[in-house]
Amino acid sequence: MEVALIVLAVVIVLFVKGIYDRKKYIKKLLARVDYAYGKIPQKTLSAEKSEAIKYYFKQHQTPYSIDDITWNDLNMDNVYNLINSCNSAYGEEYLYSLLRTPEISDEKLKERGFLIDVFSKNRDLRNNLAAHFGNMGTMKKISVFEYMGSLKNAALEGAGIHFFLDFLFVLSIVYIFITPAIGIIGTIAMLIANIFTYFKFKTKVENYFVIIGFIVRSLDSAKAITSTECEEIKPYMDRLRSCIKEFSGMRHGAWLVSSSSMNSSDLAQIFLDYMRMLFHLDLIKFNLMYRTFLNKEKSFNEIFETIGLLDSMIAVASFRDLMGRNCEPTFTKDKTITADGMFHPLIEDPIPTSFTTDRSVLLTGSNASGKSTFLKTVAINQILSQTIYTALAKSYETTYFNIMSSMALKDDIIGGQSYYIVEIRSLKRIIERMNEEIPVLVFIDEVLKGTNTLERIAASSRILLSLATSQSLCFAATHDIELTFILENYYKNYHFEEQVSENEVIFDYTLREGRAVSRNAIKLLSILGYPDEIIESATEMAQNYMNTNEWKVY
């Protein structure tokens, strides 16, 4: 009797401690998510995790998804990292896919804008949801969606073999009381057999235990979320509640497969581990959970997407707060872009830019004057407008585009392709899309700079002309001032200027109408200390060419 009371007391203490630890953990989560809101995310993604996050996107690409060239040209991984304050793996993967999938209508964008507005205004709501998402946690090196897909290919023998081994084990124990000699021998034999087969089968499926445990933890957190009372997000709570009901059998007894140390003592875990080895409890439960998951995969995908949407929209609300000046874009049917006070999210203390154009733009200016940054600023704001319904500007008016670029290209040494070959292949993929129903918004930095001047101007002028006269809007930066004259009937000219002093070149990064008239390449050589004879000779040659349109022959 005394032993029973002691055991009962220990159980009660562990239960109370579990409740206390749970409340303490949630309180800590609430404080963390509240502090992190509106600040630069501190998480650092490993190379493996950065690659894993792409999986969900790769399974849901559309004809208008941002391709790898454009994504890399614009340093969108860094933009994603700046926005990604998501607290769950679902939110991280959903946000990445969302940023690479521009919308071409306003239905989903209006929904996202509504949720962002709700979370921006309701601190308690977003903190409560974010804490529950944080309880789900993230995966360090793997994609949740990828592992959920791989569950379908798990090589399972079924639970029957484990039930049969348990039956023989229990039968041998019973025989100890009937025929002790046979019972003891049988028990020892089954003990060895059960432990051996346990590790044999466990090795095959152990990796899947991680994702099953994560799924169960997600279901528990999702169930807790559904108790949230907020009329604005009621449809999402109803959707989660409906889907979670289908997994009630999967959640019950899930601690046999994966239990949290927060709810159990170390001794309890050790005892449970032995019970798992002897009776294959986790393998049996895993098989049953596996069957449930396969039968309800569609419902779980809906849970994934609902949680992913809510978590990512909280992250976007935080991003808007971090950026300060931002707006919801206005979409029109006209192929125009008008921006007031637009800026780049990755630049500290950026210079706001304003412009309007209903035709393609040719951008000129000296080296390092801001041409490439301007192209990226427009492109990134267009992507953010068509994905998270956010423009970093006082106002931003545009239409729906298929967004493509050809900017930060490199030689393909491994593939044996020169810069020029890489460049013309990149441009060709854009030309092939320029007459589709959805107009293409094109960004080109230094078109055909991988070849000689004569052919570059001839070919690039025709390429740019074909883009300007098609279902496209093209923003191109160039050092070839000749193009601003050849294409002035089709391209609107803008430029950047600089102030040159004796020892430095100062840029104001202000966009101005018209073509550039200043140059700084030779001046930069002088500032960096090149020999005077080189500077003087180069200056003389340049001036002579400007006067005669001919190069001096040595």
Domains defined along the chain, listed by start: 1-154+206-263+292-324 (1.10.1420), 330-519 (3.40.50.300)
Instruction: Give dist(CA 17, CA 45) in Å, integer.
Output: 34
Q: Beta 337-342 vs 395-398: how paired, if at all? A: antiparallel
Instruction: Tell me the pairing of strands 440-445 and 337-342.
Output: unpaired
Give the residue among 469, 380, 460 at the shortest CA–CA distance from 423. Answer: 460
Over residues 24-40, the mean pLDDT reads 84
Please give the share of the chain, as a percent, with pLDDT higher than 70. Answer: 90
Per-residue pLDDT of 238-281, as tens digits, reads 999 999 988 877 766 666 776 444 444 556 667 777 788 887 77
| pLDDT in the model for residue 74 | 96
Instruction: Report the number of secondary-structure helices (H) and strands (E) in the chain.
Output: 22, 12
pLDDT tens profile 95-115: 999 999 999 999 999 999 999
Residue type, 321: D
pLDDT tier for residue 20 given thresholds of 50, 70 and 90: low
In this predicted structure, the answer to whether residue 415 has a pLDDT above a threshold of 70 is no
3-state secondary structure of 502: coil
pLDDT of residue 413: 46
**In whole angstroms, what is the distance from residue 377 CA to residue 391 CA?**
10
Strands 330-331 and 395-398: parallel
Question: What's the pLDDT at 43?
Answer: 84
Predicted pLDDT at 260 = 45
Mean pLDDT of 461-487: 94
Residue type present at position 20: Y
pLDDT at position 414, please?
Answer: 44
Q: Which residue has the higher pLDDT, 416 or 377?
A: 377
Instruction: Give the separation between CA 327 and CA 277, rounded to whole angstroms.
Output: 58
Residue 455, strand partner residues: none
pLDDT of residue 411: 52
- pLDDT at residue 259, as a whole number: 47
Assess whether pLDDT exceeds 90 at residue 312. Answer: yes
**Cα–Cα dist 513/83, whole Å:** 33
Collapsed DSSP state (helix, strand, coil) of residue 355: strand
In the structure, what pLDDT confidence band is assigned to residue 17 with cuts at 50, 70 and 90?
A: low
pLDDT at 255: 65
> How far apart are alpha carbons 401 and 404 in whole angstroms?
9
pLDDT digit string, tens, across residues 159-195? 788 888 878 888 888 888 888 888 888 888 888 888 8
Of 261-275, 295-309, 381-395, 539-553, the poorest mean pLDDT is in 261-275
DSSP string, 99-133: HTS--SSSHHHHHHHHHHHHHHH-HHHHHHHHHHH
Q: Which amino acid is at 506?
A: I
pLDDT of residue 262: 42
Q: Which residue has the higher pLDDT, 553 or 538?
A: 538
pLDDT of 286 strictly over 90: no
Strand 472-477 and strand 440-445: the pairing is: parallel
Q: Which two tokens stand for residue 547?
A: 């006067």
The set of residues, in sequence order, having a beta carbon less than 8 Å from that of 424 and lying 6+ positions away, is 448
Q: Which one, of 346, 261, 315, lies nearest residue 84 by Cα?
A: 315
Lowest mean pLDDT among 10-24, 145-159, 495-509: 10-24
pLDDT for position 482: 92
Residue 7: predicted pLDDT:
61
Average pLDDT, the chain: 86
CB 515 within 8 A of CB 484: yes
- For 91, residues 6+ apart whose C-beta sits below 8 A from its C-beta are 133, 307, 308, 310, 311, 312, 314, 315
pLDDT of residue 314: 98
Place of tokens 């872009």: 337
Give the torsion sign (CA, 409, 94, 141, 301): negative
Burial class (CB in 10 A: 0-12, 13-18, 19+), 411: middle
pLDDT single digits (tens) 217-229: 888 888 889 988 8
